[in-house]
Copies of this chain bind each other. A is one copy, B any other.
Amino acid sequence: MSPAGEEGLAGRLLSGDRRALARVISKIEREDPEAKEIIAEIYPHTGRAVTIGFTGPPGVGKSSIIARLIKLYRAEEKRVGVVSVDPSSPFSRGAILGDRIRLSEHFLDPGVFIRSMGSRGHLGGLAGGSRLAALAMEACGMDVIIYETVGVGQGEVEVASAADTVVLALQPGAGDAVQALKAGVMEIADIFCINKADHPQARNARIEVRQMLEIGQELAPQDWFPPIILTRGDTGEGVEELKEAIASHRAYLEESGRLEERRRAALRDFVVSWATARLEREMRERLRYEDDDLLEMVYTRRLDPISASERIYRSV
């Protein structure tokens, strides 16, 4: 395969050049056509990294736990990439924010690469640009990739489809568990992490989550029963245990054959969403420049919207 891109950017990325990595991710974000060629060249060198989706409401302290987790992986000489799509995360802002944990030490560590990405505005959303950024990080030598995300709903499902292991972080006393259950996010978590373990409600929160999981287990039994870990981002308490739970889940995925299944499904989703996003963009552009008449007919009630979309659909 011949080197793609300016000055063999892909080759430099594969040799572990951090500046090349930063430039490739910027090209991905800008949707530079060159990014596609670079992905094609680096893709055969990916697929071995451990990927972890870290999700939960804003303010739970995900970044502090991730920072602690990075420390533990670094102690084992593992290189860690973080793709943050949480706009409220200190990772996204590159700031310390008065946190007692010094995120900045990770920003300076050559074995850690942190990149925040906007969740909107690039092709394929989180499952698009961030996924490609993670591939680039892996090709550049990262052994562990952490996706940090926020909110409830669709976004989390996308993270789940991209990561091998999904950690759902909640905080005690905020009704988070009930909200997560209602929003359908609990079912995608492989591991629960209740942060702020020193909170008086922490143990109750654990019981609450366990009860919900037990009801779920009765309704639809699964091989894997998600562990519930109490952590403290400020002291690091419980984070070693969290890391072990992630390793156990990984071992379970490999032994049961679920890792392959999950990765195949994730790739299928990625390929379909990417193609869909391309088509959607094409349709939107066509509607903007060409099909104003069609929309005018819909607006004036002379044509219904389903028939209008069928016309566009058939003409693509």
Contact = CB atoms under 8 A, between A and B. Distances in A.
Contacts of A304: 39-40, 43-44
A150 to B, nearest CB: 7
A270 interface: yes
B59 A175 contact: yes
Given A183-B58, A184-B87, A299-B264, A305 B153 contact: no
Interface stretch (A72-80, A196-204, A215-223, A277-285): A277-285
Number of copies: 2
Interface stretch (A19-27, A63-71, A234-242, A308-316): A308-316
Given A151-B183, A267-B299, A299-B267, A275 B87 contact: no
A268 interface: yes
A30 to B, nearest CB: 15
Which of A88, A151, A184 has the most CB atoms of chain B within a 10 A radius of its CB? A151
Contacts of A153: 151-155
Interface string A75-101: 000000000000110000000000000
Contact of A301 (B44, B274, B278): B44
A57 B185 CA distance: 14
Given A59-B179, A299-B263, A299-B267, A283 B287 contact: no
A8 interface: no
Given A44-B301, A154-B155, A275-B310, A264 B58 contact: no
A267 B316 contact: no
Interface in A194-251: none
A57 B287 contact: no
Given A154-B154, A274-B305, A301-B47, A268 B283 contact: no
A193 B18 CA distance: 48
Contacts of A275: 283, 309-310, 312-313, 316
A271 B47 CA distance: 38
A276 B283 contact: yes
7 contacts: A39-B304, A39-B305, A59-B182, A88-B182, A271-B287, A272-B280, A274-B306
Given A267-B298, A268-B287, A279-B313, 7 more contacts: A39-B304, A58-B178, A87-B182, A267-B299, A268-B295, A271-B294, A278-B309
Interface of A: 36, 39-40, 43-44, 46-47, 57-59, 87-88, 132, 150-155, 174-175, 178-179, 182-184, 263-264, 267-268, 270-276, 278-280, 283-284, 287, 294-295, 298-299, 301-302, 304-310, 312-313, 316
Give me the 10 closest cross-chain CB pairs, A-B, nearest first: A43-B304, A275-B309, A88-B182, A274-B309, A275-B313, A276-B280, A58-B182, A151-B153, A40-B304, A151-B152
